[in-house]
Amino acid sequence: MEIKKYTKKDGSTAYMFNVYVGLNSKGKNVYRKRQGFKTKKQAQIALAKLLEDIEENGLDNRSVVLTFQQLYDKWLAQHRMNVKPSTIALNRRFVEGHVLPYLGEYKLSEISVIQCQDLVNKWFNQGYKQYPYFRKVTAQIMRYGEAMEIMSSNPMSKTILPRAKEEEKRLQFYTKDELNHFFECLKEFGNFKQLAFFRMLAFTGCRKSEILSLQWKDLDLKAKSISIGKTLALDEFGSIIIQTPKTASSTRSISLDSETVKIMSKWRVMQRTDYLSMGFNTSSEDQYIFTNAQNELYYPQVVNDWLNYLIKKYDLPKITPHHFRHSHASLLLQAGVPIKEVSERLGHKDVKITLEIYSHVMPEEAEKTADKFAQFVGF
């Protein structure tokens, strides 16, 4: 019962086992192979569960899981060992809200391809933008059923994904003047914590979840930089958690401008003074930069609430916290910053992603190329 380590196609390593479990009703040797485990411990746990299941139910365990709901429960338990808590929360919201109401009570043997296709079409016709993801995660659950040999096929994987009509949407962001006006209103509003937060949001291009997870040790005021290496999220139970970023490229160091450094320096002094009066010592380097009145981490929605209040109070153009990231990138490109630098600052995995998102800015800059060349050569 050896757990073996192997190398996947992408170069990463994983663990697997291929174990003999006995003779079936026809007298043939039966083996059970499982792979894709991130750690040896996960493989050992899965092997122990497999052997326990066979001991209790025999080799032909197709009857153990009868309904899609039961298969989902087993898949979810396995999935929790392989992905981040925030991913589990997303999966549960989608599956339990949009898949189980339709497939949950059906026996696995009763679920057909045409039934799955009707469900995919239903999601599409009801206008759910996430319908491709609903289909993807349902197929993933059924693929697990195949791997565990409790489903003979994967009907969802055989469905055809309806193609939505492509709509050209203008990327939302604040112009230079709109951004300046926003901060004028924010200064007038008088909440310095919010001023510091939105300054970081607009002048670094970070995601709100990255800024909400920052501790003072991540901010180097002398070197004028911040280190991004974690993100704030919610788990499946709605609790706040701090976890690693989704991709390795999201871990990065970002330079800060002098005004942002000045604002953050002032906020650190204010935080120490204000929170000390409330009974909290915030002088530690492990102290989170932005916390509530109980010195606890904020829920992500709080930032949207702050912003919506300001928009309504000062009649500002509608924008979301994520659109400040768009604003930052668009203004950098308009300022002539190379696309590779912008991509690295945003933490994109590939320059292509940056180009796809901000291609609307490039034509405007392309029009100036000829004049820039002529001015540089001088004739």
What is the domain partition of the chain in residue ranges? 1-59, 62-163, 176-370
- 377 pLDDT above the threshold of 70: no
Query: In angstroms, rounded to a whole number, what is the distance separating the alpha carbons of residues 300 and 243?
Result: 14
- Residue 374: the pLDDT is 64
Nearest Cα neighbor of 320 from 198, 224, 235 is 198
> Can you identify the CATH homologous superfamily of domain 62-163?
Tyrosine recombinase, N-terminal domain (1.10.150.130)
pTM greater than 0.75 (yes/no): no
Q: What percent of the chain has pLDDT over 90?
A: 62
User: Which residue, 306, 204, 303, 213, is CA-closest to 257?
Assistant: 204
Higher pLDDT residue, 184 or 30?
A: 184
pLDDT in tens, 20-71: 887 766 667 888 888 888 888 888 888 888 888 777 666 655 545 689 999 9
pLDDT in tens, 171-181: 688 989 999 99
Note the pLDDT of residue 63. 46
Collapsing DSSP to helix, strand or coil, 228 comes out as strand
**2-16, 87-101, 220-234: the lowest-pLDDT one:** 2-16
On the question of pLDDT at 205 being above 50, the answer is yes
- Which residues, in sequence order, are CB contacts of 334 under 8 Å at separation 6+? 176, 361, 364, 365
Q: Answer with the residue of higher pLDDT: 247 or 226.
A: 226
Q: CATH classification of 176-370, choosing from 1.10.443.10, 3.30.420.40, 3.30.70.600, 3.60.20.10?
A: 1.10.443.10
Q: Tokens in use for 127?
A: 């206008």
Which pLDDT does position 111 carry in this prediction? 95
Per DSSP, what are the bridge partners of residue 23?
29
E strand or H helix at 285: none
Q: What is the pLDDT of residues 295-314, one digit of tens each?
A: 999 999 999 999 999 999 99
Q: Are 282 and 269 in contact (CB under 8 A)?
A: no
How far does the chain reach from its first CA to its final CA, in angstroms?
77
Check whether 339 has a pLDDT greater than 90: no
Supply the pLDDT for residue 237. 92
Q: Residue 15: CB partners within 8 Å, gap ≥ 6? A: 3, 4, 5, 6, 35, 37, 38, 39, 40, 42, 43
Same fold: 62-163 with 176-370 = no
Averaged pLDDT for residues 14-24: 83
Mean pLDDT of 174-190: 95
Half-sphere exposure of 293 (CA within 13 A, CB side): 0
Amino acid at the residue 304: N
What pLDDT does residue 248 have? 83
Which residues on neighbouring strands pair with residue 323, listed in sequence order? Answer: none
- Whether the pLDDT of residue 373 is over 70: the answer is no
pLDDT at 211 over 60: yes
Say yes or no to pLDDT of 89 above 70.
yes
Indicate the pLDDT class of residue 246, thresholds 50, 70 and 90. confident
**In terms of Cα–Cα distance, which of 260, 251, 157 is closest to 203?**
260
What number is the average pLDDT over the span 184-198? 97
Q: Which residue would you say has higher pLDDT here, 375 or 263?
A: 263
Which of 360, 297, 373 minimizes the C-alpha distance to 329? 360
Position 241 pLDDT exceeds 80: yes
